[in-house]
Amino acid sequence: MSKNQNKTGSYSFFNCIEKNFDKAARFISIEKGLLEQIKACNSVYRMHFPVKIGKEVKVIEAYRVQHSHHKLPCKGGIRYSMKVNQDEIMTLAALMTYKCAIVDVPFGGAKGGIKIDPQTISSENIEKITRRYTSELIKKNFIGPGIDVPAPDYGTGEREMSWIFDTFLSLRSGDVDALACVTGKPVSQGGVRGRKEATGLGVFYGIRELCHVKEDMYSVGLDVGLVGKKIIIQGLGNVGYHAASFFHESGAVIIALAEREGAIYNEKGLNVSKVFLHLKNNGSILNFPEAKNIENTEKALELECDILIPAALENVIHKNNANRIKAKIIGEAANGPITPEADEILDKKGVIIVPDIYLNAGGVTVSYFEWIKNLSHVRYGRMEKKFRENVNAEFLKVIETVCKKKISIEEKKMILRGPREIDLVRSGLEDTMINGFHKIRDLKKSLKIENMRTAAFVLSINKIIDSYEKLGIFP
């Protein structure tokens, strides 16, 4: 196996995306060289820096890749994992470019990564590494509100984003827009309400939309709607946990949850918040009282179910297990969970795959809202909430007078309410996910494209071409 090959197939991760891109290119008539420009990674910054951990100096390997500058700033998460490597970060940066285009977020794609295992490093040392990484990015002009704006990803969260912001501010003091140098911050540090759960909620909105399309549901032998659908979720981190919670609340049945150490199964359904509490208290999902353990966590993916949501890492569905997958729908909450070989096998089986470049775009969509909030220096809803409540109250008075009927206090509360930040963020996210789904589906139908992934790439590449053309870069 060559250095470029991954354990599950004959392609590097970047090759996988190129392969998907090439499938879409068949539906686009534009000069080959221009497509090559869209595919290529514009800037790759690989760094090594020393950090003193205990009495030893450790050399840390890290990356920031800016895949496309067709729109600025660049945008993409930062992951902490021992699996981080250049190929992976380049691929994830490319996915960000295509993702942003699909959901009309005006950013180029980027991604960052630090090769560490945050589970084995103290929080003081993670802070040191994060701050040093940020100052390396500042030195090379790889971070800034109009340059490149990181966000959380696998192994990082609000805490790391706060450290990045604080380091940026201390080295760029007086920059009035400094808050917009990173998204996914805690609300008290300029974050936006609704960012934490945004990716999982976006996954939920996307799958819910699919489940309401009669034609698609009948094509895989399922009834319309989410209620009662049997769902398996891999990864109970930020994305997986929130997606699981929203599915559970909507009446779907979460029959299995898989984590690193094993999976748990209950045909009648798992209570997601109880499982999460169990995980918090015991450090593992295993031995949850209302479920059976499955020791080999990968086996959970192969159980009978309607919808499978991989929400952990890439390449978890590959040519060796694709034939055993029984799900009718796979929602790619993680980035790149299905290898190209597995994709072909599943396509032949008629499985509907809702692709990552659309389905997990909720995070970057709400990151975009956070960035706008930071640049406008005002909370969403602050200017209009009271005004809207006053208008609603006047409107209600007129209705009561005309109808000669008093409306109950409960109804009044609901009607009078002006929009809060969380309401606006969620409605913006819901609208984005619904529109994105139908744009992909309509294109798939009109061009007779074989699957949603290729249709999503066609939609995205066309938007990027349009943007380059308007810039005068493509003739």
Q: Under the rule (CB under 6 A), what is the footprint of ligand NAD?
A: 77, 152-155, 199, 234-240, 258-260, 297, 311-313, 333-335, 360, 363
Give SS3 for 301. Answer: helix
Sheet strand arrangement including 253-259: 292-294, 262-265, 253-259, 230-234, 307-310, 329-331, 352-354
CB proximity list for 404: less than 8 A, separation 6 or greater = none
In whole angstroms, the minimum distance from the beta carbon of 314 to ligand NAD comes to 6
CB proximity list for 433: less than 8 A, separation 6 or greater = 103, 202, 205, 206, 209, 361, 362, 365
DSSP 317: B
Nearer to ligand NAD, 25 or 114 (CB): 114
Separation of alpha carbons 86 and 338, rounded Å: 19
In whole angstroms, the minimum distance from the beta carbon of 317 to ligand NAD comes to 12
Nearer to ligand NAD, 133 or 154 (CB): 154
Tokens representing 389 are 């409540």
In whole angstroms, the minimum distance from the beta carbon of 89 to ligand NAD comes to 11
First to last CA, the chain: 41
In whole angstroms, the minimum distance from the beta carbon of 75 to ligand NAD comes to 11
Tokens representing 118 are 């945050």
In whole angstroms, the minimum distance from the beta carbon of 457 to ligand NAD comes to 17
Nearer to ligand NAD, 8 or 474 (CB): 8
CB 316 within 8 Å of CB 334: yes
- Marked catalytic residue, from 39, 111, 196, 373: 111
In whole angstroms, the minimum distance from the beta carbon of 453 to ligand NAD comes to 16
CB 58 within 8 Å of CB 50: yes
Q: Hunting for tokens 């706060």 — which residue is that? A: 162
**Following DSSP, what letter does each residue of 88-109 receive, concatenated?**
HHHHHHHHHHHHHHHTT---EE
Nearer to ligand NAD, 68 or 238 (CB): 238
DSSP 379: -
Q: Which residue is nearest to ligand NAD (CB)?
A: 237
In whole angstroms, the minimum distance from the beta carbon of 286 to ligand NAD comes to 12
Amino acid identity for residue 248 in this structure: H
Three-point CA angle 209, 213, 214, nearest 5°: 150
* CA-based nearest residue to 151, from 117, 100, 101, 206: 100
Tokens representing 431 are 């609208």
Nearer to ligand NAD, 35 or 180 (CB): 180
* CA-based nearest residue to 42, from 96, 118, 3, 4: 96
- Annotation says 319 is catalytic: no
Nearer to ligand NAD, 145 or 152 (CB): 152
Task: Please list the active-site residues.
Answer: 111
